[in-house]
Amino acid sequence: MRRIGLLTSGGDCQGLNAALRGVAKALYEWMPDTEIYGFRDGYQGLITGNSNMMKPGDFSGILTLGGTILGTSRQPFKTMVKGDDDSGPDKVEAMLATYRKLGLDAMVILGGNGTHKTANLLRENGMRVVTLPKTIDNDVWGTDLTFGFQSAVDIATHVIDNIHTTAMSHSRVFIIELMGHDAGWLTLYAGVAGGADVILIPEIPYKLTSVCATIENRIAQGKHFSIIALAEGAIDAKEAEMSKKKLRAKREKESFPSIGFRLAQELLEATGRECRVTVPGHFQRGGPPCPADRVLSTRLGAGAVRLIQDGDFGNMVGIVNNQIVPVPLEKVAGRLKLVEPEDSMVCCAKSIGVDFGD
């Protein structure tokens, strides 16, 4: 009898349930005597021992369901270990105690960057761990794709598509501010797919003069509207020279709710052109996974079970060149996969006239 624990941690996204289903169905198929324990609300459930033994029926009908049937929560990595004064509860020891109490043979953990740092910490402390990469940001190192990304691209692209008609009708500049934290993958792909005229991402600091020039050039060509796909973490060239501390202080002094509204005001002052801002926000993370994410989640879930079968723990299941591969957690933890300024997709976008503000 094998006992396997499951948990989903960090922000939710499309494909989490499909991945859980992939793990469970592969376990029941290849190791039918396995017991599966689902932990509630991410690492918090592992810390407190809040779990339930799951049955095959719990995984039925969830392939197309958004969110996560296990619930999730954010547990910052810095809160997982004791401080220098040795104060506070030892959450790592609490998780290990739960693991031992239930007699688990392994944990399958689904999450993004912070989740993988904690998973690696558990690995270092003797827990058998296999992880799956999820995030709409697509910024987990060691895998070409994370599940949730393609679904978010589909939603963001749909937003840009619909903005086009009202932008044309009113001859306006529209800014669509998309998620992604410090990575520009979502904005880059949705911007290209949606036909944005300007794409601004964190990895390529922008100059306002370049964006203004693009808008004016389009007007000179008889194109009286412009679409700007803007990543929430985008920064201008002057901000790129600041330390993180100074940049944070600068942003805190601003009265704008987000960078999209600041850019709209700057463009209005510089060009006199009316701008409108659309922020789809968490809408990008919600709803059912697209077919591509359902396939990817299932492949990664089944890949996790293969690693368990082989006793190959301490790995994330990644996809590289369309092949499912194990990626050592110590290489994944603490690293971000960011867009390189010379990435092929950036070069492709520039070759068709998209401005990156540089």
219 in Cβ contact with 213 (< 8 Å): no
- The Cα 152–Cα 148 span in angstroms is 6
Distance CA(291)–CA(294), nearest Å, equals: 5
Listed residue (12, 38, 8) closest to 24, CA to CA = 38
Query: Has 137 been annotated as catalytic?
Result: yes
265 by Cβ neighbours in 10 Å (0-12 / 13-18 / 19+) ranks as middle
Q: Which two tokens stand for residue 180?
A: 């992604």
What is the Cα–Cα distance from 356 to 214, expressed in whole angstroms? 10
137, 139, 154, 236: which one is catalytic? Answer: 137
**Do 182 and 263 touch, CB atoms closer than 8 A?**
no
Structure token digits, residue 219: 């007007």
Question: Half-sphere exposure of 172 toward its Cβ, with a 13 Å CA cutoff?
Answer: 16
**Residues catalogued as catalytic:** 137
